[in-house]
A = this chain, B = another copy of it.
Amino acid sequence: MQFSALQLATILNGKLEGNPDVKVHNIAKIEEAGEGLLSFIANPKYEEFIYTTKASILIVNESLVVEREITPTLIRVKDAYSSFALLLEKYNQMAGDKKGIQQPSHIPASVKMGENVFVGAFAYLGENVVLGNNVKIYPGVYLGDNVKIGDNSVVFPGVKVYDFCTVGKHVILHAGCVLGGDGFGFAPQQDGSYKKVPQIGNVVVHDYVEIGANTTIDRATMGSTVIRNGVKLDNLIQIAHNVEIGENTVIAAQTGVSGSTKIGRNCIIGGQVGIVGHIQIADGTKINAQSGLSKSITDPNKSLTGSPAFDYKSSLKSQAIFRNLPDLEKRVKELEDMVKQLLSEKEGV
């Protein structure tokens, strides 16, 4: 497939600068793009590449200032990053669209499917599973009884969804993630052993959610563990039973959220963060990587860091002094010597 600068400018509703007829056949990073390739500059850090790149077409922000002569044809848009993403998405859609039912797969008669569905070989669908239109179930996926997957959602290879969990529309579940495993609930017995508390709730994933590879989301003890619209979860994240995550909250890899905690909307949570159970995190909270949250955050839009976590700026100050603790201890020792000297002299007097 080839596209001219004019075609791309039209698709993106952008302003064209340079040769409208120049053509590209593929995409590359600005550092690596050569003739016949399309790239973009969104980050000011990369703006200097504009003078050296051999890319044929560049998507750039409207505001970019060009001070010298350049090789590529420019397409100026409001937000180069989003425009490039849009283009990639369209490209991906054209690149290949899996359809049909591969054999062998396990699909009971009680399963209901929309139009244009793909089910890969060795996929297992339980009784009463419902798949919406354009759903893609990759090979080796397991969907338990009564699982529902909404329109346009993609379930990558080896995903496991336990009975009664529901997944919304436009959701992406990456390879190996597990939805609906039993919550970690045990009643301690007098002899020191633990008795399993049956977990009879489910997991409810709303629309436009993306869940990373090998991430695990446990079913609620009762009721639902809830992942709301637009939430993005990275790989290897643990979401415990009865947790709720608010709209458009983003969580980086290897973070863990303990049971019954409610996270607000529009939060940004770094990687390897740990959050204890039964607390609330206010809307718009930002939590730095590797932090540990042990208390509710009630004021919205705060930034936190540390384990245990507290206010970001204060925490940075404490960390700076921590690095110089041996120095502080030395200063205290010197003070003690001087004061001892002063006291002994006074007594000497």
Contact = CB atoms under 8 A, between A and B. Distances in A.
Interface stretch (A59-67, A212-220, A295-303): A212-220
Contacts of A331: 332, 336
B321 A317 contact: no
Interface residues of A, number: 111
A253 B185 CA distance: 12
Contacts of A307: 290, 307
A162 to B, nearest CB: 7
Nearest to A181: B213
A149 to B, nearest CB: 16
Interface in A89-108: 89, 91-92, 96, 102, 104, 106
Interface stretch (A4-12, A14-22, A227-235): A227-235
Contacts of A121: 104, 106, 124
Contacts of A184: 212, 232, 234-235, 252-253
Interface of A: 27-29, 32, 79, 81-82, 84-86, 88-89, 91-92, 96, 102, 104, 106, 120-122, 124, 138-140, 142, 145, 156-158, 160, 162, 172, 174-176, 178, 181-182, 184, 186-187, 189, 192-198, 200, 208, 210, 212-214, 216, 218, 221-223, 229-230, 232, 234-236, 238, 240, 247-248, 250, 252-254, 256, 258, 265-266, 271-272, 274, 276, 289-290, 292, 307-308, 310, 314, 317-319, 321-326, 328-329, 331-332, 335-336, 338-339, 342-343, 345-346
